[in-house]
A and B are shown apart, each in its own frame.
Chain A
């Protein structure tokens, strides 16, 4: 049976001024099937959705929907044709009611639209919220409504971008049931997900994307054992690791609650980092990992709980005081000042040091630790490779000799070679007596590196143990590493 696939992507390229987000992606979604799209952060999954749904019109290649080329059409047209998509972060219309949110997505002039909308709302038991404004829904409800919204026109293909991220378990069940139901009625789906159990249960076929390319495809069972797939996705490395002795904590977080505006992200997280340790925080997207560390330095609003650094309460401090407290922070995404040289970037890290000679010595000491950067100290940071930029970001954070170094996904978007390099540096730093707290998507590598780990889920603690113990823990492997 050689039916035309409902979605046929061939040789899709998307370049963002030097960054190759998609490098010749080939992907097919078979009619009536649920296809999974997995891969590490930064591999291009969302970019792919942006291109296919028409929101990004700068790609080249071929995209056929039901045999019809759609590359370059505007999103509303693509939606009319029967291809719908949801967003990773909910984009419910905050000022419109749930009913209005659905109605605006219906066919204009369709007299049955209201009926249909009410039916959908009833199906997910949100009847009481029919006239509630989008902004007043819980995050999980918002994501559910966003899904309902695209069902208004009976799309033949739905692209779901992490539909369950940030959604509580009960609503998640409702969501997956709805997915099955819709599939049963004939719709095809392409789903981006990090939870391997869902992928295993739901998907007929899986595509693995890494650094903008499809590196594996097939049934979940096949893909799982494919050696090309980065280890962190499924399989942990079998490794020994010595944990550190427990001493009075350098950093103690108790009952931390934090919110992004009205949406609460952390519901009472506890965490400790002893001096000289490497502690890793792992968990799926939406678990709150980055939120925890951002709360420590004031980039996110803390609404409850405490953050204590060496006995001093630092809860809610303004971010720019972090260096003075001895905290160095490496944000997610290799962010450097691209119009400044490597040297100038490092100097920015020691901005508070007004003495020029002292600053120079600090720069020299950091360059000493990163010979690669020393070679390029007068190059503009924007011209460095990804791995070098990450090193620079770490170097910058080290400039003020921090007591605690916090890293947000240090391996994100780096090639395996650079990941090894960076991780080597991190081990090195620990060897020199630094204390590290890091968030990682790549759970396996993080657990292998760290002394102790915290696994979070939906803004709460789930598991805590030494890295080695967590790696061996069956539950953890199942939930976070996709192993048995």
Chain B
């Protein structure tokens, strides 16, 4: 196979970037929660799966097109995020990071297994968008679902970015993530902002889930692969750095596509894990790992 032909590589790259956009949407949400609360939410990918199942249920029982299910899922997950924050996360924000890992780990187990109980391990998909776009000038074939998913992901991620940058609440969120005490002094109700942040991240995860349902077939435990990809993205882009996570997601998608095309799809799966392990350098993730 002449894999190294520019045309083929270009094709792979575009596909990879589109997949990467989805990773970016997911990782940005996780990153946002970390930046604001220093909480590492291991259940983030399960929130995405809830979104995927909402899309599936909406399609299966109400004939709803995924793009219509999208706002529904985001709304429901925003609400769920607020509830989870109030019930669970707010209790652990003051404690060490390890506690948040353990608690969210427990949460992810609960969600996966509840999903298995309700939906069984059967794979499902929402195959509404079929076919492909053919761009003559570039000699490019892009599957429709991937194109739509990629586009929606990019739009949503940029929308959240704009929200954070320019809106009043967005600035409050940024303020809290940088200096929570000073934010309080300015009159910002930090607990409320944390709730909004978690809700927003959950909504983003839900959106990613809806898009996921149109591209891949999934089951309740599909989230496990994605959480690791998220970490790889966050590490590439820098923990807490929003734009970094966006770029990181695109890069990961790209790397996976290229490896998958050149080696095999199974090796593509391993890319994220390998990146994760390789980036774990002795000098540490955030530079001064051994500064005590």
Binding site for B on A (CB under 8 A): 55-58, 74-75, 297, 299, 318-324, 329, 331, 335-340, 344, 347-352, 354, 396-397, 400
- Whether B178 contacts A396 by the Cβ 8 Å rule is no
- Whether B291 contacts A337 by the Cβ 8 Å rule is no
Which residues of B lie under 8 Å from residue A338 when comparing CB positions? 178
- Whether A351 contacts B186 by the Cβ 8 Å rule is yes
- Whether B291 contacts A319 by the Cβ 8 Å rule is no
A-binding segment of B5-13, B167-175, B206-214, B254-262: B167-175
Which residues of A lie under 8 Å from residue B188 when comparing CB positions? 320, 351
Q: Mark B180-201, 1 if CB is under 8 A from A, else 0.
A: 0111111111100000000000
Q: A339-B178, A344-B171 are in contact. Are A397 and B185 (CB under 8 A)?
A: yes
How far, in angstroms, from A396 to B187 measured CA to CA in the complex?
12
Q: A337-B178, A348-B175 are in contact. Are A75 and B186 (CB under 8 A)?
A: no
How far, in angstroms, from A336 to B186 measured CA to CA in the complex?
12
Tell me whether B288 is interfacial, beta carbon within 8 Å. Answer: yes
How far, in angstroms, from A348 to B179 measured CA to CA in the complex?
12
- Whether B292 contacts A339 by the Cβ 8 Å rule is no
- Whether B186 contacts A396 by the Cβ 8 Å rule is yes
| Distance from B185 Cβ to chain A, minimum over Cβ atoms (Å) | 5
Tell me whether B122 is interfacial, beta carbon within 8 Å. Answer: no
| Distance from B240 Cβ to chain A, minimum over Cβ atoms (Å) | 11
Q: A55-B291, A320-B188 are in contact. Are A331 and B183 (CB under 8 A)?
A: no
- Whether A299 contacts B181 by the Cβ 8 Å rule is yes
Tell me whether B290 is interfacial, beta carbon within 8 Å. Answer: yes
- Whether B181 contacts A331 by the Cβ 8 Å rule is yes
Which residues of A lie under 8 Å from residue B184 when comparing CB positions? 299, 318-320, 322
- Whether B290 contacts A323 by the Cβ 8 Å rule is no
Which residues of A lie under 8 Å from residue B178 when comparing CB positions? 337-339
Q: Mark B13-25, 1 if CB is under 8 A from A, else 0.
A: 0000000000000
Which residues of B lie under 8 Å from residue A323 when comparing CB positions? 185-187
Binding site for A on B (CB under 8 A): 168, 171-172, 174-175, 178-179, 181-190, 288, 290-292
How far, in angstroms, from A260 to B268 measured CA to CA in the complex?
51
Which residues of B lie under 8 Å from residue A336 when comparing CB positions? 182
| Minimum CB distance partner of B192 in chain A | A320
Extra A-B contacts (4), CB below 8 Å, given A320-B188, A323-B187 = A57-B291, A320-B185, A321-B187, A337-B174
- Whether A75 contacts B187 by the Cβ 8 Å rule is no
How far, in angstroms, from A320 to B189 measured CA to CA in the complex?
6
Partner of B182, one of A58, A337, A347, A352: A337
Q: List 15 A-B contacts (CB under 8 A).
A: A57-B290, A58-B288, A74-B290, A299-B181, A320-B183, A320-B190, A323-B185, A323-B186, A323-B187, A335-B182, A337-B179, A340-B171, A348-B183, A349-B186, A351-B168
Which residues of A lie under 8 Å from residue B291 when comparing CB positions? 55-58
| Distance from B41 Cβ to chain A, minimum over Cβ atoms (Å) | 23
Which residues of B lie under 8 Å from residue A75 when comparing CB positions? 292
How far, in angstroms, from A44 to B174 measured CA to CA in the complex?
30
Which residues of A lie under 8 Å from residue B185 when comparing CB positions? 297, 319-320, 322-323, 329, 331, 397
Which residues of A lie under 8 Å from residue B292 when comparing CB positions? 55, 75
| Minimum CB distance partner of A328 in chain B | B185
| Minimum CB distance partner of A347 in chain B | B171
Which residues of A lie under 8 Å from residue B179 when comparing CB positions? 335, 337
| Distance from B166 Cβ to chain A, minimum over Cβ atoms (Å) | 10
How far, in angstroms, from A335 to B183 measured CA to CA in the complex?
11
How far, in angstroms, from A335 to B290 measured CA to CA in the complex?
26
Partner of B174, one of A320, A329, A331, A340: A340
Which residues of B lie under 8 Å from residue A352 when comparing CB positions? 186-187
- Whether A331 contacts B182 by the Cβ 8 Å rule is yes
Q: Top 10 closest A-B pairs, CB basis? A: A319-B184, A323-B187, A352-B187, A320-B184, A329-B185, A351-B186, A348-B186, A320-B189, A351-B187, A55-B292
Which residues of B lie under 8 Å from residue A397 when comparing CB positions? 185
Which residues of A lie under 8 Å from residue B181 when comparing CB positions? 299, 319, 331, 335
Which residues of B lie under 8 Å from residue A337 when comparing CB positions? 174-175, 178-179, 182
| Distance from B200 Cβ to chain A, minimum over Cβ atoms (Å) | 18
How far, in angstroms, from A331 to B168 measured CA to CA in the complex?
23
Which residues of B lie under 8 Å from residue A74 when comparing CB positions? 290
| Minimum CB distance partner of B172 in chain A | A351
Q: A57-B290, A331-B181 are in contact. Are A324 and B174 (CB under 8 A)?
A: no
How far, in angstroms, from A335 to B184 measured CA to CA in the complex?
13
How far, in angstroms, from A320 to B175 measured CA to CA in the complex?
13
Which residues of A lie under 8 Å from residue B186 when comparing CB positions? 323, 348-352, 396
Which residues of A lie under 8 Å from residue B288 when comparing CB positions? 57-58
Which residues of A lie under 8 Å from residue B290 when comparing CB positions? 57, 74
How far, in angstroms, from A348 to B183 measured CA to CA in the complex?
8
Which residues of A lie under 8 Å from residue B187 when comparing CB positions? 320-324, 351-352, 400
| Minimum CB distance partner of A294 in chain B | B181
Which residues of A lie under 8 Å from residue B182 when comparing CB positions? 331, 335-337
Which residues of A lie under 8 Å from residue B171 when comparing CB positions? 340, 344, 347-348
How far, in angstroms, from A58 to B291 measured CA to CA in the complex?
9
| Distance from B234 Cβ to chain A, minimum over Cβ atoms (Å) | 18
| Distance from B280 Cβ to chain A, minimum over Cβ atoms (Å) | 19
Which residues of A lie under 8 Å from residue B174 when comparing CB positions? 337, 339-340
| Distance from A291 Cβ to chain B, minimum over Cβ atoms (Å) | 14
How far, in angstroms, from A324 to B188 measured CA to CA in the complex?
11
Considering residues B182, B183, B291, B292, which has the most beta carbons from chain A within 10 angstroms of its beta carbon?
Answer: B182
How far, in angstroms, from A335 to B180 measured CA to CA in the complex?
11
Considering residues B179, B184, B291, which has the most beta carbons from chain A within 10 angstroms of its beta carbon?
Answer: B184
How far, in angstroms, from A344 to B174 measured CA to CA in the complex?
11
